[in-house]
Structure 1
Amino acid sequence: MSTDPSIETLRIREAAAGDLDGIARIYGTLWCNTLRNRGDIEDAELAARFNVAMQLQDSPIALVAESDGEVIAACMVGVFDDGAPRPNPAWQQTYDELLAQATARAETADAKLEGSLFGDSREKATSRRFAATGNPYAQGQVNLIIIDPAWQGRGLGRRLIDAARGHLRDLGCSAFFLMTDNQSDYAFYDHIGMERIAEDHSQDTGDGFTVYIYGDAC
């Protein structure tokens, strides 16, 4: 699909403190609907805000795309120093506060809510294990890329990843990776020419869940 001309006029900038709710709105629309549909609105909002904050504090490169002042997409990118993730201290306090809220809520959560709160944390552990292997792609990682459904399919995902490449190159990285899974739209990464470099089955509980790791040059 050709790039929509309007995409080229969007502003891509560094994420600021006031963007958390806008990013969480997109995250919640994509991944918290089960909670929302059963009436757990506050839990859905907590899960979205906590998981976004977790990715932000782990992403020295945190980008948002906005249209008419509204956040419509985000791309969060981590950097590894000898296998260790480099933090983003600007988001640490926000993350700590939301972690405390999520941990307290998890004490009485059912399996669906617990998974919504901490599923991304388990995937984070998988990515860190991969980075610790010293794989040449493990210099940077696209931790999270999310796009408002109304803006999907118009070239914005490719544009955000290209912006991430540029920032990674500026930090001295020559390659990066990202993680997706067989229940997500992994074909997008095939479409833009990334290489599937590994698979991880550690989160398979009998349902065939497989994490796919894609890599590419910066």
Structure 2
Amino acid sequence: MTQTEKLTWRAFAPGDFERAAGLLGRTWLPEFPARAQRAASQIELAHYLARSTWSLVAERGDEILGAVLLAERDREGIGGEDWAALEARLTDGAEGDPELAEAVRVEMDGVREEAALELEYLAAGGAGTDATIKLLIVSPDAKGLGIGGRLFSAALDRLRETGARGYHLLTDDSCDFGFYEHKGLRRAMSRRSGAYWPGVDPATDEFHVYVYDQEL
């Protein structure tokens, strides 16, 4: 039996939250101290979950190795109000600790900047307005298993089955957007960031956020 055959593929469950947030933190926020990493990654994940209508995780044993979340237009989110309430509670809780509050501000400023660019894309009526890939993440420990490609393909299968005409996603210079270009997506919008990202000063560093889209 290969490592891939040992993987379980299933929908995201509420009990996955801590492990999935840990994966997000280790993968995207390695510069943050442990407490700040945990706080920022939990709030960011709750933010994405509050908007998600479909999900898939790759699990091996007790470890989540990857996840994808979709937000589909005109479809009701899965537990959206509960996740939004959790995001609010976690954010309020972090406000009382300067270290946590600063980490959350830095991370969520970037998320909000991407969201603002997304609103412009949606208002322009781009090809991918029917759905958004809100999150696609794979553990660095899972390289070579094909998890990212399988999660991505499953999300596209879902969109085709439900009749979506296209989709889009948000990304930035810290991510491997070459993966999306290889999958046939086009860069629909680009903007130099004005937010403080981990390790990036907008006054001196060139750092961009992007919208990628694809027709189906």
Alignment TM-score > 0.5, same fold: yes
Tell whether 2:49 aligns with 1:56: yes
Q: 1:97: which partner in 2?
A: 86
Q: 2:206: which partner in 1?
A: 208
Residue of 112, 118, 138 corresponding to 2:129: 138
Q: Could you say what secondary structure the match of 2:132 adopts?
A: strand
Number of aligned positions between the proteins: 206
Q: 2:15: which partner in 1?
A: 18
Structure 1 residue 152: deviation in Å?
Answer: 2.5
Q: Which runs of 5+ in 1 are unaligned?
A: none
Does the 8 Å contact 1:50/1:95 carry over to 2? no
Q: Could you say what secondary structure the match of 2:31 adopts?
A: helix
Structure 1 residue 172: deviation in Å?
Answer: 1.9
Once residues 49 and 73 of structure 1 are traced to their aligned partners in structure 2, the CA distance between those partners, rounded to angstroms, is: 16
Q: Percent identity?
A: 26
Q: 1:186: which partner in 2?
A: 177
Name the aligned partner's letter for residue 96 of structure 1.
Answer: A
**What's the Cα RMSD here?**
2.4
Residue of 151, 165, 170 corresponding to 1:174: 165
* CA deviation string 1:110-169 (max 9, x = no partner): 655421244323322322332232112111111111111111343211111110011112
TM-score, structure 1 length as denominator? 0.82
Structure 1 residue 8: deviation in Å?
Answer: 5.7
Over 3 Å counting, the alpha-carbon distance change for 1:118 and 1:63 in structure 2 is farther
Tell whether 2:37 aligns with 1:44: yes
Does the 8 Å contact 2:185/2:214 carry over to 1? yes
Structure 1 residue 181: deviation in Å?
Answer: 1.3
Tell whether 2:15 aligns with 1:7: no
Q: Could you say what secondary structure the match of 2:32 adopts?
A: helix
Over 3 Å counting, the alpha-carbon distance change for 1:121 and 1:96 in structure 2 is farther
The 5 Å alignment of 1:21-170 reads 21-36=18-33, 41-81=34-74, 86-106=75-95, 108=98, 111-170=102-161
Structure 1 residue 104: deviation in Å?
Answer: 4.8
Q: Which runs of 5+ in 2 are unaligned?
A: 196-201
Name the aligned partner's letter for residue 31 of structure 1.
Answer: W
Q: Could you say what secondary structure the match of 2:27 adopts?
A: helix
Name the aligned partner's letter for residue 215 of structure 2.
Answer: A
